[in-house]
Amino acid sequence: MTVSGSNSSESNRGVRSGAQRAELRMRGYRPRNSGEGTKHRGLMVVVVVVLVVVVAGLFIGIPAVRSFAVGMAEGNTSAINYPFIGGFVKDELGASLTTPAGTDATAVPITVASGETPKQIGVDLTNNKLIARPLVFQYLVASQGVIDKLQTGLFNLNQTMTPQQIVDRLQKTPDPKDPVVEVSLRAGLRLEQVATKLETLDLDMDATEWLQEALNPPAELRTDYPWLSELPEGRSLEGFLGLGVVYRVPKNATPDQFMRMLLDQWQKVMIDDPKANGEPSVIDATKGKLTFYEILTLASIVERETGLDDEKAQIAGVYTNRLHGLLDNIKLLDSDPTVVYAKDSMKLKDIKFSDWVPYVYWTLDGISSMQDFAVSDDLKGYQTYQNAGLPPGPIDSPGYASIQAAINPDTSGDFVFFYACPPTQKNPEQQKHKFATTLAQQQKNIAKCQAQSN
């Protein structure tokens, strides 16, 4: 008989007489195991395993013992943490514990369902050629005690990941159900470079369709982004894309959807964020001397000239001074990047899009003289050694710092020349520029830089 209640005596709270216990046993009753009993059984299992391993090692040899240990671990992941078992398994697996399964970086979607065992997950990873065998995964999660930390959901993995990287990834937030591809676009890329990048990624979109939309933006796009009124009719979206951001693009995104992701980011950085901080947007910040599209064009040249933010205002100042006629009373920009842009544009016309991937942009190959380099009529405005003023439009998509520099150029000092000193052992950082007001000073700067690099 069991008595409950706060005033029950100790015997009534569960201590039974010998006669009561005998009667309950006759009825088939078995007392519930205490935690202590469970621990004892677990300890007994470990002891038995140790004895089996030791005895087997003495009588049948180490190879057979290793085979026994591996078989036990494959059938029971927790056995990996028993004495000796984990060591034998680790020896058996060897380099497969640390070596990626392949070289294909294509995303492989793996879904981990609730209740799946480490072995089941390991089998799925093995079937998808992401690890050498299921036991690799079983060993890593068991030996590190992270079985309970594995998440459920969709994970985009690939063969270049080490088994440890896979284990680490499965402990983090899963990917969205629709696979995404990371598209990294640094500032200073021209449209064709972006299209080439898209061609190399595991995206469903046709990169040529995206490029055509960028080269010929439809009226609907202009309507949806009112600030594109700054874009003259007939001009491409060169200058409004990029910004040095990593975009997470749905694998099945259309060219137009990706285009809008780029334009949304441009609007955020150039318009929305400044206004949220009480500052004018980059479009509103011009001082009237140049239109915003002209500012964007100047900024795109600055972006190609230097990657150092603290130099950009001075570089913009040099070109502004040239536009004002401070260089021999003529208004030639004498800009190398614009000529290189024209050279690349002509080259790309003669190459099929499928062959653009290995093409190297922004080199001087094929240009023996900037002043004399001939360009086609449709690109004549980019030969700034022969034609005064700014080129017809941007040559790339500049970042925020370059645009700010073009809006607020540093024209002090009346500099009209600059030269990039090569890095030296004492100064291995990115090239710094020296500025000059006269050709003689420019030549001295060049000689000094060259002497330092020898």
Residue 286 falls within a domain, yes or no?
A: no
Domain edge (last residue) among 50, 66, 93: 93
Residue 267 falls within a domain, yes or no?
A: yes
Residues 152 and 225 in one domain: no
Residue 295 falls within a domain, yes or no?
A: no
Residues 15 and 41 in one domain: no
Residues 396 and 448 in one domain: yes
Predicted local distance difference test score (pLDDT) of residue 421: 87
Residues 56 and 107 in one domain: no
Give me the phi and psi of 157, to 5 degrees please.
Answer: -110, 175
CA 326 – CA 206 distance, rounded (Å): 47
pTM of the model: 0.63
Residue 287 falls within a domain, yes or no?
A: no
Number of DSSP helices (H) and strands (E) in the chain, helices first: 17, 6
Contacts of 6 (CB under 8 A, 6+ apart): none
Residues 14 and 44 in one domain: no
Predicted local distance difference test score (pLDDT) of residue 245: 81
- Unique residue bearing structure tokens 């900024």: 299
Q: Where are the alpha helices (DSSP H) in 200-331?
A: 207-215, 219-224, 255-267, 273-276, 292-305, 309-323
Residues 75 and 199 in one domain: no
Domain edge (last residue) among 139, 169, 199: 169
Predicted local distance difference test score (pLDDT) of residue 52: 52
Residues 22 and 43 in one domain: no
Residues 327 and 416 in one domain: yes
Q: Is 86 in contact with 143 (CB distance < 8 Å)?
A: yes
Q: Is 403 in contact with 294 (CB distance < 8 Å)?
A: no
CA 260 – CA 239 distance, rounded (Å): 15
Tokens at residue 271, please?
């318009």
Over residues 378-424, the pLDDT tens digits come to 999 999 999 999 999 999 999 999 999 999 999 999 999 999 988 77
Residues 338 and 319 in one domain: yes
CA 60 – CA 46 distance, rounded (Å): 20
Which residues form the domain of 137?
97-169
Domain edge (last residue) among 48, 74, 93: 93
- Enclosing H/E stretch for 51: helix 35-60
Predicted local distance difference test score (pLDDT) of residue 114: 92
Residue 445 falls within a domain, yes or no?
A: yes
Residue 282 falls within a domain, yes or no?
A: no
Residue 164 falls within a domain, yes or no?
A: yes
DSSP readout, 160-173? TS-HHHHHHHTTSP
Cα within 13 Å of Cα(79), Cβ side:
19
Predicted local distance difference test score (pLDDT) of residue 240: 92
The CATH number of the domain holding residue 154 is 3.30.1490
Residue 325 falls within a domain, yes or no?
A: yes
Print pLDDT tens along the chain (454 aa): 333 333 433 333 344 444 444 443 434 333 434 444 444 454 454 445 555 555 454 445 467 777 888 888 899 999 999 988 989 999 999 999 999 999 888 888 899 999 999 999 999 999 999 999 999 999 999 999 999 999 999 999 999 999 999 999 999 999 877 778 989 999 999 999 999 999 999 999 999 999 999 999 999 999 999 999 999 999 999 999 977 788 989 898 999 999 999 999 999 989 888 888 888 888 887 777 789 999 999 999 999 999 899 999 999 999 999 999 998 888 899 999 999 999 999 999 999 998 999 999 999 999 999 999 999 999 999 999 999 999 999 999 999 999 999 999 999 999 999 999 887 766 666 568 999 999 999 999 999 888 877 6
Residues 388 and 418 in one domain: yes
Residues 332 and 433 in one domain: yes
Residues 319 and 212 in one domain: no
- The alpha carbon of 300 is separated from its chain's Cα centroid by a whole number of angstroms, namely 24
Instruction: Please count the structural domains in the chain.
Output: 5
